[in-house]
Chain A
Amino acid sequence: GAGVSQSPSNKVTEKGKDVELRCDPISGHTALYWYRQSLGQGLEFLIYFQGNSAPDKSGLPSDRFSAERTGGSVSTLTIQRTQQEDSAVYLCASRTGVGTEAFFGQGTRLTVV
């Protein structure tokens, strides 16, 4: 695609429910990142994929968070048993390699009520 695509753009869920957020990176981009941006805050690193493997999962806040990437392309971020503190904008970015521009999607705004 022309850019990084994330879906859904907005998600409202009840506390305790599971949610899946999807990221379609730019075709050919081997590196994929998930970040979380709380209201008025900076970008909190969650996880990074190189191909289908995740060399760094250190940013995942708890074991309720998981992510996978298949075929070196689409990635899903899953949040189980959502809590109100999970409310944030979840951003996905992809890049071709070392020292290159990371392109961001528009994000998924998650609201846990």
Chain B
Amino acid sequence: QQQVKQSPQSLIVQKGGISIINCAYENTAFDYFPWYQQFPGKGPALLIAIRPDVSEKKEGRFTISFNKSAKQFSLHIMDSQPGDSATYFCAASPSGGYQKVTFGTGTKLQVIP
């Protein structure tokens, strides 16, 4: 059962442009929403995370927008750079004793000069 849906599967953006990746979830028990960045040959690494008590979180050029009622969240990369080219995964996990982290299917971002 796919509990976190991610789109698009791949994305090509011009240098300096805005990259937008969207995710939607089903499980209302989720209350922690991280985004991971993965470079080839490496494990995923946390980029930025948000909890549902805020609608937006910004760290540098990376912003998460969160819509609790729609059960959607998105990653915006402002002023995209070639070094941002990587695969991005959204994820979600619930509070409480059960800590399974469910990942989206990933978005391969390519930023072209």
Cβ-neighbour of A33 out of B41, B97, B98, B101 (below 8 A):
B101
Give bound CA distance, A98 to B96, whole Å: 7
3 nearest A-B pairs in the assembled complex, by CB-CB distance: A104-B43, A42-B105, A43-B103
Contact with B along A46-64 (1 / 0, CB 8 A): 0010100001100000000
| Docked-complex contact B89 and A99, CB < 8 angstroms | no
Contact with B along A63-75 (1 / 0, CB 8 A): 0000000000000
Inter-chain residue pair count (beta carbon < 8 A): 63
Cβ-neighbour of B105 out of A33, A41, A45 (below 8 A):
A41
A25 within 8 A of B: no
| Docked-complex contact B43 and A56, CB < 8 angstroms | no
Q: Could you list 28 examples of A-B contacts with CB < 8 Å?
A: A33-B101, A41-B105, A41-B106, A42-B6, A42-B89, A42-B104, A42-B105, A43-B106, A45-B100, A45-B102, A48-B100, A50-B97, A55-B98, A56-B100, A91-B43, A93-B43, A93-B101, A95-B99, A98-B99, A99-B32, A101-B46, A102-B34, A102-B46, A102-B101, A104-B36, A104-B43, A104-B45, A106-B41
Residues in B lying within 8 Å of A, measured CB to CB: 6, 31-32, 34, 36, 41-46, 49, 51, 89, 93, 95-106, 108
Number of residues from A at the complex interface, CB < 8 A: 26
